[in-house]
Structure 1
Amino acid sequence: MLEELSLRNIGGLDSAHLHFKGRFIAITGESGAGKSSIVRALEFASGKRAQSELIRAGEEEAEVIALFFCPRTLQLPEEISSEEGNLFLKRVFTRNGRGKTFIQGKLFPLSLFNEVAAPLLRIQSQFAQLELLDSDRQRDILDSYGGEEIICLKNELRSVFSNALLKEKELRSVEKKQKEVIDRYENANSILQSFKSISPESNSEAIWEGRLERISKSIDEHTKLEQILARLTGGKTGEGIADSIENLCLELTQIISPDTEKGSKYQELGNNALVFLQKLSQSLTVLLSEQSLSDLYAEQEEIENKLGTLRKLKRLAGVRTLEELTNYCKEAEMNLTWLNESYRRSEQSGAEAKKLRREASRLALELRKKRERTARSLEEAVNHSLRDMAMEDITFSITLSDLGKIKSTGADEISFLMASGMMPPGPVMKIASGGELSRLLLALQLALPDSQLPGTLVFDEVEAGLGGKAAVLAGYKLKQLAEKCRVILITHEATIAALAEQHFVVARQENKSFIKEIEKDERVLEIARMLSGNTTLLEAQEHAGKLLSQ
């Protein structure tokens, strides 16, 4: 429970300290006196994000300190421990937007502050009535009434559903990558096979091109040398230069007798020419025999095939360089290996996802049955409280409809309905007035099990729209709720404020607000003011005295 609240520089209040003693506490005051500053301070103590514009004018910093008494059943985070049941929460925030949150005097993040404050303090403003119009909020209220049984089942469903989504996401991710790999490496197997057949190294393309150029030059040289040799020897059928010279020498001997000195000289010169030509022919023959033209053509064809294959592979792979092709082949081999293994993985993920989906369906069906039983029980409890608040003609009911799909919260859409008199039930958002929503909210709070209620519940003018007998009866129900948790009520309704065990009033003098606890005669005067707007009116004082004595 909230035991003490101290604030500094919030709204119209420069400072205030409230020590709570009763179970049912009223905070009253004129409109604009500063009651909303108390509400804002309570909101900040509950973990709501601070707003710098709520810092008192002329000040740079605001502060809220709350002292709670924690029950032994409260589960605190490991890093937090209460001191003899006491828990101190403190928040400081400045106009520059910076803030600090403290628990037991130690600095902690706001997220942990919220976690600690949530089961200790809850604010119910007029806006809380609007929450009743939201289907998700209606579902949460119904589930809260179901207690631990439904909460445990919801947690199990949420876990199974989350795991199913993860498996389905994993499956979609694998299938997406499978498609990408198939599209990217459609021709990869043939590319890899051809790439391995030519086994290129990092500089193979330049080496092959250089070798091809040299082979082409060698073929050209070989061809020309063969032509020269053929001219020398005449080939297999023709007459070559050597044959011509030999014939010329024979003709010369016929003209000049070799027996003469001159003829002998010419014959020797002719023989020397023939010997030279024979040696030249033999040298060319040896040179040409070192590498046959057919070998050169074969090597040329082999290299051209490699280069052609390499260029084709680059085109098929969509790359420009051998380095890029090599990287492509490495990636392709790795991805194709992954692809082959992924089919087993996707099959397994698909099977697991289906299994989890079936389990989620089973849990959702079980949850629906428990919700249906809980709905009947909650209807009975709420209608009983509504009858006690002069709403005998109103019937509250709950319907569950199939969403047609399973979500982490189940497969049901929850609708709160109200029926008036002989009229058929309709959604509360269309049927209920503001006052009826206030009483319905209170009836639902009364129906919740103690474990679902915070230590302190703050109502900010939730009696709006109520008056007369309805307000009195709502007041009694608020007092009944105070038996379960401490109730702090910020109110303008005198009949409800008179029921409180402890009473604070917020007043304003000039531009400054202050708050104090009132008792006895001061309380009579405050109730009289709330009844008539005039503290000196004897009839109002008499009426206030009667209300306080009841």
Structure 2
Amino acid sequence: MLDELHVQNVALIEDAVFSPCDGLTVVTGETGAGKTALLSAIKLLVGERADSSAVRDGSDAARVEGRFFVGDEEVVAERRLTSDGRSRGTINGDMATVKMLAATLGSTVDLCGQHEHQHLLKPANHAVMLDAWAKDEAELAAYRKALAAAKEAQEHLESVRQAGKASSAMLEEARFVLARIDEVDPREGEYEEIEERLPRVEHAEELASSADQAYRCISADGAALELVREAAALLDDMAEYDESLRSSAGSLQEASYLLEDVARDVRRYRDGVDRDPELLQQLQERMGAFHGLIRLWGPRMEDVLAKRAEAAEIVAGVDDSHNRLKEAEQAVEVAEAQLREAAEALDKARNAAAPNFSKAVNVQLGRLKMGGAEVVCQVAPLERSKWTASGPSSVEFMYRASEGMTLRPLARIASGGEISRVMLACKVVLGEVDARDTLVFDEVDAGVGGSVAVSLADVLADLAKTHQVIVVTHLPQVAVRADRHFVVSKSQNADGMNVTLLDVVEGDDRVFEVARMLAGDTSAASLAHARELLAD
């Protein structure tokens, strides 16, 4: 939702702030006052393409800054467009490309006018809208899961086929790799175990001799343990006359206990040293075999094992290709059958929802007094090769202006006012399931007057219950239904240049604006009529 917009040097706007409300915001003003400049500013901020013509004459750059609420997150974005056509953007202070602006903000704002590329006019979005409106999420999720499973089964089948077609040279190499590695038969983690153990076995005599010498240094007569005990006893005797020595005596006593533990551990280590020459030879031969494999397919033992797995896959793919191929083909058949079942369920749900959706839209078109105009939601099955995550069928909103005319895609409607009103009808029906928070309507009132204008105002007011709606309008019937009313007017700045002003009108100012829209003046009669409309 758009919370606030600050516009500088865009077309006729020198400096203006636009703060639409949550519901229905209308923008009115005389023709040529610069209402389209406001729309241009919104387009810039949501990532629409722009050129230097949008920069106000005499200015170096146009700048648009806006605060949006996307879900629960506040987003502040800015876009600058220089007079030489360069564009720069930021999102929450960080540099952003036009694509990033479009992805972050363009997905929340729908610009509904004759020349916009509206979300609703893109057939790729129609299936998403129909599913959301009909609450077909479960059927769609089941279809997508089945489609992914079918794709995975097909990919596995292709890999089996490719493995079965392995060249003789490739197969020969794979058999050699398998035989060479299996001759050594390394098990997982064995290399690391031997790498850790071998140095101990290789230096067993040195380790045993050093352990024995260390043991004697600690425990032999007159060695460390005996000397520490003797010193502890001496200090303990001296402590009878000088209590300060008691702590030192205790420390030496604890040291003697520690030396006893170390001596016991060293003796146990000495006695447990393995001096087996046969074991040494076995470990050295095993490590030598491992190093031979690593030189060929290393640099790590994990690489050797991975190479073996790859070779085994190639050999198995050829040796057992018939069985593997048959199993893969059967898996594809099962996956395709499950996919067809899910596709039929999704199509059934869509075909049931489509006429009801069309009927609901056409009710809104009737409210807008659009005669025999009709929107038809078409669901057409696709060939299996064209199935995508969107579904096994194409969904497209079609339109005809009157009974008997040929249905045409919604995007081919020629009239700006007509396309805006059709979009308005669709938006009302989509209601809360439409992901676009903000809807901006331009030319929605083209060629409209009388009772149609009242109906149009009613429909916009209904839509504003579920969306933030911004409407540029010439209709007083729409203006009086607004929750917030802005007036665009033309003035001259200190340099004598024409500039556009944008102001919120309330109270008598709003009465005067509605009177102007009704009769082009502020006579007593038009003011009375304006007050009457605003009071309803």
Shorter-chain TM range is: 0.5 to 0.7
Q: What is aligned with 1:340?
A: 318
2:423 aligned to which of 441, 445, 465: 441
* Distance in 2, Cα, partners of 1:335 & 1:117: 49
Q: Which moved more, 1:58-67 or 1:12-21?
A: 58-67
Counterpart check, 1:373 vs 2:360: no
Is 338-347 or 13-22 further displaced after alignment?
Answer: 338-347
Change over 3 Å in CA distance of 1:507–1:424 after alignment to 2:
closer
Q: What CA distance in whole angstroms lies between the structure 2 residues aligned with 1:504 and 1:187?
A: 76
8 Å contact kept, 1:22–1:502: no
Match runs of 1:37-56 below 5 Å: 37-49=37-49, 51-56=51-56
**Which residue of 2 is the match for residue 502 of structure 1?**
484
Q: Confirm or deny: 8 A CA contact 2:112 2:442 kept in the other structure.
A: yes
What amino acid maps onto 2:91 in structure 1? Answer: F
How far off is 1:404 after superposition? 3.6
Q: 1:512 aligns with which of 481, 487, 499?
A: 499
1:526–1:535 CA contact under 8 A, matched in 2: no
* 1:139 equivalent in structure 2: 127
SS of aligned partner of 1:499? coil
**Alpha-carbon distance between aligned partners in 2 of 1:131 and 1:108, rounded to the nearest angstrom:** 22
Does the alignment pair 1:524 with 2:511?
Answer: yes
Correspondence for 1:383 among 362, 381, 387: 362
Q: Give me the whole-angstrom Cα distance separating, in 2, the residues matched to 1:116 and 1:132.
A: 18
**How far 1:488 sits from its partner (Å)?**
0.8
Task: Pick closer, same or farther for the CA change 1:494–1:356 going to 2, 3 Å.
Answer: farther
Matched, 1:398 2:386: no
Contact 1:4/1:66 (<8 A) preserved: yes
Give the deviation of 1:162 after TM superposition: 5.5
- The runs of 5 or more residues in structure 1 that have no matched partner are 77-81, 193-332
- Which of 81, 84, 91 lines up with 2:79 in the alignment? 91
Distance change >3 Å, CA 443–CA 341, structure 1 → 2: farther
C-alpha change, 1:346 and 1:463, in structure 2 (3 Å) is farther
Contact 2:88 2:97 in 1 (8 A): no
> Residue 126 of structure 1 contacts residue 464 of structure 1 at CA under 8 Å; is this kept in 2?
no
Contact 1:29–1:507 (CA under 8 A) maintained in structure 2: yes
Report how far residue 349 of structure 1 moved. Answer: 5.9
- Report the Cα offset of residue 507 of structure 1: 2.1
Query: Any idea what the Cα deviations from partners look like across 1:330-366, whole Å, max 9, x if unmatched?
Result: xxx9998697379577766655554444343222211
Query: Conserved in 2, the CA contact under 8 Å of 1:157 and 1:409?
Result: no
> What pairs with 1:31-42 in structure 2 (closer than 5 Å)?
31-42=31-42
Structure 1 residues 374-394: Cα deviation after superposition (integer angstroms, max 9, x where no partner): 224323422332333334755
Give the CA deviation at 1:49. Answer: 4.8
5 Å-filtered alignment, 1:126-525, equals 126-127=114-115, 135-146=123-134, 149-151=135-137, 153-154=139-140, 157-158=143-144, 160-161=146-147, 164-165=150-151, 168=154, 340=318, 343=321, 352-391=331-370, 393-394=372-373, 396-405=375-384, 406-416=387-397, 423=404, 426-427=407-408, 434=415, 435-509=417-491, 510-525=497-512
Q: Deviations over 1:187-242 (max 9, x none)?
A: 998xx9xxxxxxxxxxxxxxxxxxxxxxxxxxxxxxxxxxxxxxxxxxxxxxxxxx
Provide the alpha-carbon RMSD of the alignment: 4.2
CA 1:459 to 1:170, structure 2 compared with 1: closer, same or farther past 3 Å? farther
- Distance change in 2, residues 1:490/1:188 (3 Å): same
For the Cα contact (< 8 Å) 1:65–1:91, is it kept in 2?
yes
Residue 420 to residue 508, structure 1, CA distance change in 2 (3 Å)? closer
How far the C-alpha of 1:453 sits from its partner, in A, is: 4.1
Provide closer, same or farther for how the CA distance between residues 128 and 113 of structure 1 changes in structure 2, counting only shifts above 3 A.
closer
The structure whose Rg is larger is 1
Matched, 1:124 2:112: yes
**Partner deviation per Cα, 1:65-118 (whole Å, 9 max, x = no partner):** 222345xxx3x7xxxxx3xxx443333454463423222x44456555444425
* Corresponding position of 1:23: 23
The answer (yes or no) to whether the contact 2:33–2:500 under 8 Å persists in 1 is: yes
8 A Cα contact 2:89 2:101, kept in partner: no
Counterpart residue type for residue 89 of structure 1: A
Indicate the residue corresponding to 2:494 in structure 1.
Answer: none
Residue identity in the other structure for 2:426: L
**Larger CA deviation: 523-532 vs 444-453:** 523-532
Conserved? CA contact 2:442–2:471, under 8 Å? yes
What is the match of residue 63 of structure 1? 63
Residue deviations 1:18-71, cap 9 Å, x none? 22336211112233332222112222333435545423334344332222345x
Kept in 1, the 8 Å contact 2:420–2:441? The answer is: no
CA separation of 1:462 and 1:102: change in aligned 2, threshold 3 A: same
Instruction: Specify whether residues 153 and 38 from structure 1 end up closer, same or farther in structure 2 by C-alpha distance, changes over 3 A only.
Output: farther
Which residue type is aligned with residue 533 of structure 2?
L
- The letter of the residue matching 1:497 is A
Instruction: Give deviations 1:141-178, integer Å, cap 9, x for gaps.
Output: 323322xx434543554465356456656766886797
Distance 2:154 2:55 in 1: 49
Instruction: Label 1:111 to 1:351 Cα distance change in 2 as closer, same or farther (>3 A).
Output: farther
- SS of equivalent residue, structure 2 residue 445: coil
Matched, 1:101 2:101: no
Question: Secondary structure in 1 aligned to 2:136?
Answer: helix
- Which residue in the other structure is 1:310 paired with? none
Residues in 1 aligned to 2:149 and 2:49: alpha-carbon distance in whole angstroms: 32
Normalization by structure 1: what TM-score? 0.59
Alpha carbons of structure 1 residues 429 and 459: separation in structure 2 relative to 1, 3 Å: closer
Distance 1:54 1:20 in 2: 22
Q: CA deviation at 1:421?
A: 8.0
Quick check: 395-404 or 126-135, which moved more? 126-135
For residue 481 of structure 1, report the CA deviation from its aligned partner.
Answer: 0.8
TM superposition shift of 1:124: 1.8
Following the alignment from structure 2 to structure 1, what is the Cα–Cα distance between the partners of residues 372 and 171?
78
CA distance in 2, matches of 1:341, 1:90: 64
Structure 2 unaligned runs (5+)?
176-310, 492-496
Distance 1:170 1:29 in 2: 65
Q: State, as a whole percentage, how many aligned pairs show the same letter.
A: 26
SS of the counterpart of 1:473?
A: helix
Does structure 1 conserve the Cα–Cα contact (< 8 Å) formed by 2:69 and 2:75?
Answer: yes
Contact 2:399–2:410, Cα closer than 8 Å, also in 1: no
CA distance in 2, matches of 1:107, 1:432: 38
The size of the alignment, in residue pairs, is: 391
Following the alignment from structure 1 to structure 2, what is the Cα–Cα distance between the partners of residues 59 and 357?
A: 62
Contact 1:157 1:363 in 2 (8 A): yes
CA distance in structure 1 between the aligned counterparts of 2:459 and 2:369, rounded to whole angstroms = 12
Checking the alignment, whether the CA contact within 8 Å between 1:164 and 1:357 is kept in structure 2 is: yes
Deviations 1:389-434 (CA, angstroms, capped at 9, x unpaired):
3347555543423234333322223354567887488446699784
Question: Who is 1:234 aligned against?
Answer: none
Q: Secondary structure at the match of 1:448?
A: helix
Please report the TM-score for the alignment, with normalisation by the length of structure 2.
Answer: 0.60
